[in-house]
Amino acid sequence: MKEITRRRKYEIKQRAKGEKLVVLSLFDGISGAQIALKELGIVPAKYFASEVLKKAIRVTSQNFAETEQVGDITKWREWIPDILEKYTVDLVVCSSPCQNFSKRGLDGDKLKLFFVALEILEYIEDEQKKPFYFLFDGEPANPGLGNYLSTNAVLIDNAVFDAGHRNRLYFTNIAARFNVDLFDNDYCYSEIPSLTDVRPRPFPFDKNPSGDLFLSEKQLAYCFKCQEPFKNGDKSPFLILKNEIPKCITTKVNNRLGGNLVAMKCAKANSYKGLGYSFRRLTVNELKLCNGIPEWYSFGNYSYSSICELIGDGFGIGTIKYILNHILK
């Protein structure tokens, strides 16, 4: 990647303050980058979003009507040239699908999309005279992705900022210094520090959760036995360790929610195996808190399982705010 000069950094900073920033978000999801920018007081002049999931596009449109949806990332040659003809891109954000990152290393069909995003990055660099910022995230199991982006990996646990643990690697040239390697390639070292030391603090659970969030004895037995999400069409993401009580066993969860299942002392539902706790799924408000999604953000009338899916596929907002705030410094 080309080095961003001090003059260009200052220019991007002023564009961010003056509502002139041009952003391209790949795998935009619920537009987590746009949420973070809004929370920082930054209103982009143009926010281009590449997303194919219809419900994610609808939710984004409800919250950010000015978002310009550009379509499928694999068809980028149909829309990237038009963007570059009219605008200078200042920031490219990419939250690529994590399933293959976490389960199959550098293999898997969805990982191919990471290399498509890389092609887009290289194309913009070749076609646009001015350098730009980029921000990619990835699973901790794949620090080698930084080699493709010519940058180091920054490990951040989103629980440093928000209520739920979410360890991710971030690859960015924001707040970076540039060096030239032995092969005359530019390599940038982001000076944003890794943050994994989480300060334990109480979690503000909802006081009156809906009764349908509580689990039956049969559901609990199945979870503890199989270590799998519930069947029968319920796609809500649970994380249950075999024969083990979930990590969040009290109302003081030390920021660790252990997935989307919480155990609480409550007379409202049956306990499991005499453990003295009732188990339920997190409410939508609790899920939003875990990921730093502000109260004003609306998911409309989507079902609980759809909201879980949409939140699970997105950024940890607190971390993205922290990184993007370096643009203003």
The CATH number of the domain where 171 resides is what? 3.40.50.150
Q: Is the pLDDT of residue 94 over 90?
A: yes
pLDDT band per the 50, 70, 90 thresholds, residue 98 = low
Amino acid making up residue 133: Y
**Highest mean pLDDT (candidates 116-125, 214-223, 266-275):** 116-125
Q: Indicate whether 202 belongs to any domain.
A: no
> How many structural domains comprise the chain?
2
pLDDT band per the 50, 70, 90 thresholds, residue 264 = low
Residues 43 and 168 in one domain: yes
Cβ-count burial 140-161 (b if 16+ within 10 Å, e if not): eebeebbeebbbbbbebbbbbb
Residue-wise pLDDT tens digits, 10-49? 999 999 999 999 999 999 999 999 999 999 999 999 999 9
Residues 18 and 102 in one domain: yes
pTM for this predicted structure: 0.84
Q: Indicate whether 203 belongs to any domain.
A: no
Q: Is the pLDDT of residue 238 over 60?
A: no
Which of 325, 329, 328 minimizes the C-alpha distance to 33? 325
Q: Is the pLDDT of residue 313 over 80?
A: yes
Residues 180 and 291 in one domain: no
pLDDT band per the 50, 70, 90 thresholds, residue 5 = confident
> Where in the sequence is the domain holding 47, given as residue range(s)?
6-196+316-328
Residues 191 and 240 in one domain: no
Q: Indicate whether 215 belongs to any domain.
A: yes
Q: Is the pLDDT of residue 124 over 90?
A: yes
Q: What is the pLDDT of residue 92?
A: 97
Which of 133, 52, 61 minimizes the C-alpha distance to 92? 133
| Nearest-angstrom CA–CA distance, 272 and 256 | 21
Instruction: Outline where the chain has alpha helix (H).
Output: 6-17, 32-39, 54-63, 80-86, 99-103, 112-127, 145-149, 217-226, 284-291, 304-312, 317-324
Residue matched to tokens 């209520």:
163
Residues 222 and 265 in one domain: yes
Residues 192 and 231 in one domain: no
Residues 76 and 98 in one domain: yes
Q: Is the pLDDT of residue 234 over 70?
A: no
**Highest mean pLDDT (candidates 78-87, 109-118, 182-191):** 78-87
Residue matched to tokens 């900073």:
13
Q: Is the pLDDT of residue 198 over 50?
A: yes
Q: How many CA atoms lie within 13 A of 305 on its CB side?
A: 9
Of the candidate ranges 27-41, 48-62, 99-113, 312-326, the one whose mean pLDDT is the lowest: 99-113
Asked whether the beta carbons of 158 and 143 are under 8 A apart, the reply is no
Who's near 207: CB < 8 A, 6+ residues apart? Answer: none
Q: Indicate whether 204 belongs to any domain.
A: no
What percentage of the chain has pLDDT greater than the value 70?
A: 74
Q: What are phi and psi of 266, to 5 degrees?
A: -160, 135
Asked whether the beta carbons of 135 and 174 are under 8 A apart, the reply is yes
- CB burial class (10 A; 0-12, 13-18, 19+) of residue 37? buried
Residues 324 and 189 in one domain: yes
Residue matched to tokens 């629980």:
159
Which residues in 201-299 belong to E strands, given as ranges? Answer: 261-264, 278-281
Asked whether the beta carbons of 209 and 280 are under 8 A apart, the reply is yes
Higher pLDDT, 208 or 252: 208
Q: What is the pLDDT of residue 237?
A: 33
Mean pLDDT of all residues in the chain? Answer: 79
Residues 110 and 30 in one domain: yes
Q: What is the pLDDT of residue 80?
A: 97
Residues 153 and 277 in one domain: no
Q: Is the pLDDT of residue 241 over 60?
A: no
Looking at residue 128, the DSSP 8-state letter turns out to be -
Residues 121 and 228 in one domain: no
Residue matched to tokens 């890794």:
194
Of the candidate ranges 52-56, 95-99, 142-146, 227-231, the one whose mean pLDDT is the lowest: 227-231
| Nearest-angstrom CA–CA distance, 176 and 170 | 13
Q: How many residues does the chain have?
A: 329
